[in-house]
Amino acid sequence: MRKQTAVTLLAISILLLAVVSFVLVRQIDTGTSGLFPSQSGRMPEMGMNPNMGMGGEVTTELVTSTEKEKELALPPLLEGTLSPDGSISYTIVAQEGSTQLKEGNPTQTYGYNGSLLGPVIRIRSGQKVNIQTENSMDVSTSFHWHGLKVPSKVDGGPHNPIEPGEAANLQFTVNQGASTLWFHPHAEGIAGEQVYEGLAGLIYIEDENSDTLPLPKEYGINDFPVVIQDRFFERDNQLDYARAYNPDGIYGDTLVVNGTINSYIEVKNEKVRLRLLNGSNARNYQFRLSDNSTFYQIASDGGFLNEPIPMENLQLVPGERAEIIVDLSSYSTGEKIKLMEEDVPVLALTITEETTEEPSSLPTTLNIISKGDDTGNPDKVITFSGMGHMVAIDGKRFDMERVDLRAKVGTTEVWEIDNAPDMMGGMIHPFHLHGVQFKVISRNGNAPPANEQGWKDTIALYPDDSVRIEVTFPEKGIFMYHCHILEHEDNGMMGQVLVE
Ligand SMILES: [Cu+2]
């Protein structure tokens, strides 16, 4: 008996020693605290920290980078091949590479048609599109078109893996209006790691409305893609998914925008359009301008809002997009204004030239989207619950062989999505639905905020939230709905709806 106690005590001591040395090594490695992160700052107005981890502790905090300021990398605009019938063809190759992200060692990364992230694919409403997708990596992947209204065999969910060395040709017709969408891997259980290591690209849909609206639209001059991600670099500048892993989502301490750390753009003192994508695995952002001035949101996930929405703060959860206009007409050459996440700079806008154009006002009407009908009862109720490895939808984990919901193509339904709080307070889950753009018709019985009254494919669910959306699937097939914290998705916080 005494011997047993001694052995137990010894085992506990060894375990404690291991935990303490792990935390110490981690702190020396990173300069941030590992097990007991500080609680300073970062308590936004919604009454809870939007980046709460397991047990309610604040996850890895962002720090202001000490890297030299660099001009923002602009993803190349992918050249397509136009056919006489008006269709356009693109090739997208998922590949391995290495990228100079920080001073010192280059970082091993993944990219589409390059070593990191991907090009911008530009397509037009009504156009026939062919995309040749190829996997030149040595791991399985898939190509998911986040926000695109396409048949499920094109959607690139876990049912459509592309194995190493394999390729697939996708064909679809663009069936939606001007918008900023994105593409990323969605293969079962490995989406988080592949996005973290660099796989993400943008899709721009343009139409007659976006052609004619007087908005900034010169790529890289006054219209910028802004893909915001957080990463955790090891001492040798590598990304180590396994070491950074947290079942409630990976958080990095370093902001990387289009693959650039500490980035700036040089602009004239005119209106500048930023197409923001929260491409992070798990982090929620609260954006503002460094002088707290007003900016205007003109588009949500699925396209233009009905009118520009003036705002001082903008929250984006993982997967969400927003296009904003920053009006620099009251600034002069040499001045700098920064897009901030709380107190950490995201992107500096440096004014290097005075514009010769007359300042114009923003159009008052951008789009015509009718309000959804919130008078009926929901056709479906979906409940998100849990944290870490215990996440579930309607009490279940994802099973590729199980159909969770059924819907009729072209039929409008109301879905209520609930985020059940738990004893530890719960956490924000971003809800994403494939193959469709939906309308938010109410949040906890109230009208949604103005910037959610447009087309959406991803929404924040706060603990205890009950959000109703209006959904009309345009295509048949099997579509995913899931939490867009990629580690939750990979842990099985996902269901599937069969549209017939
Ligand atoms: Cu989640």
Identify the pLDDT of residue 42.
26
Separation between Cα atoms, residue 271 and residue 215, nearest integer Å: 8
* Ramachandran assignment for 113, one of left (phi > 0), alpha (psi -120 to 50 degrees), beta (any other): left
Q: Hey, which residues does 402 pair with through a beta bridge?
A: none
- The stretches in the chain having pLDDT less than 50 are 1-3, 15-47, 54-56
How far is the centre of ligand 1, averaged over its atoms, from the C-alpha of 57 (Å)? 16
pLDDT at 37: 29
pLDDT at position 302: 98
Q: How far is the CA of 428 from the centre of ligand 1 (A)?
A: 7
Distance from Cα 444 to the centre of ligand 1, integer Å: 19
Give the closest residue to 149 by CA, choosing from 210, 93, 203: 203
Question: In order of start, what are the domains of the chain with their CATH numbers?
Answer: 380-499 (2.60.40.420)
Distance from the alpha carbon of residue 336 to the mean position of ligand 1, in angstroms: 36
Cα 219 to middle of ligand 1, angstroms: 34
**Cα(111) to centroid(ligand 1), Å:** 25
Q: What pLDDT is recorded for position 6?
A: 52
Non-local CB neighbours of 118 within 8 Å, separated by 6+ positions: 75, 92, 111, 112, 183, 199, 200, 201, 202
Using CA atoms, how far apart are residues 156 and 150, in angstroms rounded to an integer?
10
The pLDDT of residue 44 is 34
The pLDDT value given to residue 20: 44
Q: How far is the CA of 282 from the centre of ligand 1 (A)?
A: 8
Integer angstrom CA distances of residue 221 from 228, 340, 354, 362: 19, 21, 13, 18
**How many Cα atoms within 13 Å fall on the side-chain side of residue 108?**
10
CA of 35 to the centre of ligand 1 (A): 21
Ligand 1 centroid from CA 106, angstroms: 32
Centre of ligand 1 from the C-alpha of residue 478, in Å: 21
SS3 call for 307? strand
CA–centroid distance, residue 452 to ligand 1 (Å): 20
Burial class (CB in 10 A: 0-12, 13-18, 19+), 441: buried
Q: Calculate how far, in angstroms, residue 320's C-alpha sits from the geometric centre of ligand 1.
A: 14
Exposure of 86 by Cβ count < 10 A (0-12 exposed, 13-18 middle, 19+ buried)? exposed
The mean pLDDT value of the chain amounts to 90
Give the model's pLDDT for residue 30. Answer: 35
